[in-house]
Structure 1
Amino acid sequence: MSTTLGMLGRLAGNHALKEDLTTALRSGRLPHSILLVGEPGCGAGFAARCLGADYLYPQGGAHAEAVLRGQDSECLTIRGEGASGQIKVERIRDAREKIQHSALSADAAGRVLFIYGAQNLNGASANAMLKIMEEPPEGVLFLLTASSAAAVLPTIRSRCAAYTVAPVPEAECAAALRAALPQIDDRQAADLAFLYEGHIGSALAVMNDPAVKAARAAARDLCRQAEVRDTYRAAALLAKYEKDREGAARLLVQTRTAASAALRRPGFDGLSAPAAARLARAAGDAAKAMAGNANLRLTLTLLAAAATAQDP
């Protein structure tokens, strides 16, 4: 960890971002509402926790480490719920009550409210959030994350100072993965960095999260079936997800990621460029259909057929 950047020093890359936030924090000019924008896997959530730790516990220590783990008592966390990921107004109201009517710990410099996925605030929950942000309780820092600033409601976005958390260069990503995952070798780290294009969080998730790991394995299997145009085996693989919309969504993310890697480096995951292009189109169409709440069984059946179709 950087001794000059505090916990923010643990965030890979993003050097200007870390310097700007640290300077603002130490000079007392940190805005009370900050929006950290980054594609999934870039580390916006981790950056938010690092900043929250530095805000609450400038000297570091066990409490700061607890913030990074999401376990500190002075932090309130709100995330979306269910398949839609929407943030319900009840969650905002509950957080407001806790902020206004609970006492601060003597060890902390304030309190932090994390809102992960602020693009999932709907009209009602955004209005409830605005009531807190417009008259913020003393000592409370609002840290919001979003996959896109444009996806956040303007009423919320305009109340925040926005910063972008970017993916890191592949070499830096590979080094971070080797440090976090001692069980992998340099080649594996480099392949993961290439596959996820410097998105450290995505690479870590595929190694540490059983659901993501399973989706990655299934995506590699689908790549094999697409390469040899085995419609039967592709359909059999995808049939396992006919009643698992969340699992199917994870599979599509990993499939599109693998296809993208093979387009950049033909042969990655055993997928030729023509097969990768075909699979990318098929998975993209399936993702759009799922977003439109299409019948999942039919969507997966069409995906199997399109992924293994003969080229015109």
Structure 2
Amino acid sequence: MIAEQERLAPAAHDDLDGVPSPAESGAPVGHDAIWETLAGAYGKDRLPQGLILAGPSGIGKATLAFQFARYLLLNPVPREALQTGPQFDVPESLFRQVASGAHPGILHIRRPFNQRSKTFRTRITADEVRAIGRFLSHTSGDGGYRIVIVDPAEDMNIHAANALLKILEEPPANTIFLLIAHAPGRLLPTIRSRCQMLRMTPVDSASMAEVMRRLEVPQPPNGDVERITNLAEGSVRRAILLLAFGGLDIAEAIEGLLKNQNFDLQSARAAAASVGGRGSDDAFDQFNRLIDDTLTEFAHRYAIDGNGETANRLAGYHGEFNEAVESVRTFNLDRRHHVVKTLRDLHGMLHRK
């Protein structure tokens, strides 16, 4: 099991039990080049006010954003900023303030909690983005940066995206927007045009091994970190799901079903019986997390390959899928039907001619 962690950060829709959130994780691993770009631009006082940290889910984008936020807070004068890598000493008080969401210089925008269903909503709404205006109306106490992290930015609905766009058109001085994007193609073109995009790549097996050591994640079968890195496609989050939450069997079942040219209804029903029955909350959550990550990853991959039609189809279905999950939990609908339908829908999109 993963070592017990003192929870500092507010609850979020993609939390993993016992795993620190990005705000609590400290220095990112495997992204030194991106860090050098950011710190170098800041030291020359040329840091754009809008930045998109783009790349597959779970590779450390948000972790880097929070560590860079700490760097900005510790170095409020750009040309006097300490030139360092992502691993640097952070005062305990500052670390805890940032991790707990209590620092007055940082605003973290995420999906809100739905009190009715007792689950997180599937989108970031305009109400959350309006909080940015209130946040920016207060001046920074030390004259340094005010930092807005939107995580992930493609979770914004159209009203939220338009509200953010208005702020980005005339951003206040000493303000930086760090937009986390798993699928940047889903962002409004006008938002992308007002931000500089930095593309982050999946972590390699050496970086994966270092993260596993830090988090005390169970070791992969036969110690084969490279295999898990490949299965997780360089995503630390997916690797943790595979190793620490019994996801390896579920992931391999999903992968097998999606690879076959013909949809295997019998195998889909068998998977549904194992993850969608009563008393299998952990397995059901695992299935939905893996599907969520799979949709994000496939949409990103098809967009990179120039297959915009399939990428858009998957991106649109991503929202439908999350709404279906919320409905199943809110109204106690048949989980096995949800599993089979999800697998059939996803298979149909991937193999549509």
Determine if the TM-score, normalized by the shorter chain, exceeds 0.5: yes
Please give the residue correspondences for 1:72-111 in structure 2 after superposition, counting only pairs within 5 Å.
72-73=102-103, 74-81=105-112, 85-100=122-137, 102-106=138-142, 109-111=144-146
Cα distance between partner residues in 2 of 1:121 and 1:303: 23
Indicate whether 1:12 and 2:29 are aligned.
yes
> 2:327 maps to which residue?
none
CA contact (8 A) 2:106 2:149 kept: yes
Question: What residue ranges of structure 2 are gaps of 5+ in the alignment?
Answer: 1-24, 76-81, 83-89, 113-118, 258-265, 297-313, 325-333, 346-353
CA contact (8 A) 1:113 1:142 kept: yes
The alpha-carbon distance between structure 1 residues 246 and 153, as it changes in their structure 2 partners (threshold 3 A), is farther
Show the counterpart of 2:50: 33
1:136 to 2:171 alignment: yes
Aligned to 2:330: none
Aligned CA distance change for structure 1 residues 251 and 50 (closer, same or farther; 3 Å): closer
Q: TM-score, normalised by structure 2?
A: 0.60
Q: Which residue of the partner structure matches residue 71 of structure 2?
A: 54
| TM-align CA RMSD | 4.3
Higher relative contact order (CA 8 A, sep 6+): 2
8 Å CA contact 1:36, 1:143 repeated in 2: yes
Q: TM-score, normalization: structure 1?
A: 0.67
Percent identical across equivalent pairs?
Answer: 25
Which structure is larger by alpha-carbon Rg, 1 or 2?
A: 1
Query: Letter of the aligned partner of 2:96 in structure 1?
Result: A
Q: For residue 97 of structure 1, what is the amino acid of its counterpart?
A: R
- 2:187 aligned partner, one-letter code: V
Matches within 5 A, 1:111-122: 111-122=146-157
Distance 1:23 1:160 in 2: 17
Residues 173 and 231 from structure 1, CA distance in 2 versus in 1: closer, same or farther, beyond 3 angstroms?
A: closer
Is 1:44 matched up with 2:80?
no
More helix by share: 1
Map 1:1-312 onto structure 2 (within 5 A): 10-58=27-75, 60-66=90-96, 69=99, 71-73=101-103, 74-81=105-112, 85-100=122-137, 102-106=138-142, 109-181=144-216, 184=219, 187=223, 189-204=225-240, 213=245, 216=247, 219=250, 222=253, 233-240=270-277, 248-252=287-291, 291=321, 298=337, 300-301=339-340
The 8 Å contact of residues 167 and 199 in structure 1, kept in 2 or not, is answered as yes
Deviations 1:266-309 (A, max 9, x none): xxxxxxxxxxxxxxxxxx9xx88964978975453467899xxx
2:128, 2:276 → 1: CA distance? 36
Kept in 1: contact 2:151–2:179 (CA 8 A) = yes
Instruction: Identify unmatched segments of 5+ residues in structure 1.
Output: 1-7, 258-283, 307-312
Compute the displacement of 1:141 (Å).
Answer: 1.3
The secondary structure found in structure 2 opposite 1:194 is: helix
Tell me the distance in 2 between the aligned counterparts of 1:158 and 1:18: 22
**What amino acid sits opposite 2:230 in the alignment?**
F
Counterparts in 2 of 1:72 and 1:202: CA distance versus 1, 3 Å? farther
Deviation of 1:190 (Å): 4.4
Q: Distance in 2 between matches of 1:147 and 1:288?
A: 12
| Alpha carbons of structure 1 residues 238 and 303: separation in structure 2 relative to 1, 3 Å | farther
